Amino acid sequence: MEGQAAIINISGDITAVTGFSVEKAHNRGDVQGAERIVMKFNDECYINSGALAFLIDVASKSRKKGQMICVTGLSDHFVKIFHMVGLTRCLEIFPTIEDALK
């Protein structure tokens, strides 16, 4: 946790099966108490439609609790996908982790 922000590092393929890992990280006590949650995707991340459902659920739960969800590290392709599926209504995308932590 950095200040009032919790950082979740995400790498590899995120699918309906591996999406549980993201949800588990989101449910950690230090993350639940944070005002801001930063999901830092590495450059090689692949996110399928099953994982998008997990991300929507995590983002909507956090939003209801007044937590800000910040995402960084997405490829241009996934930035477009997040906009298309409406995830950007529940979270904000930043170009760098430093920007997400401001």
Tokens of 71: 């995402």
Residues 29-44 have a mean pLDDT of: 85
34: confidence class by pLDDT, cuts 50, 70, 90 = confident
Domain range for 65: 5-101
What total of structural domains would you count in the chain?
A: 1
3-state secondary structure of 50: helix
CATH code of 14's domain: 3.30.750.24
- pLDDT at residue 3 in the model: 55
Q: Is the pLDDT of residue 64 over 70?
A: yes
Maximum C-alpha span of the chain: 32
Rounded to two decimals, the pTM is 0.84
- According to DSSP, residue 95 is labeled S
Looking at the chain, the whole-number percentage of residues with pLDDT higher than 90 is 34
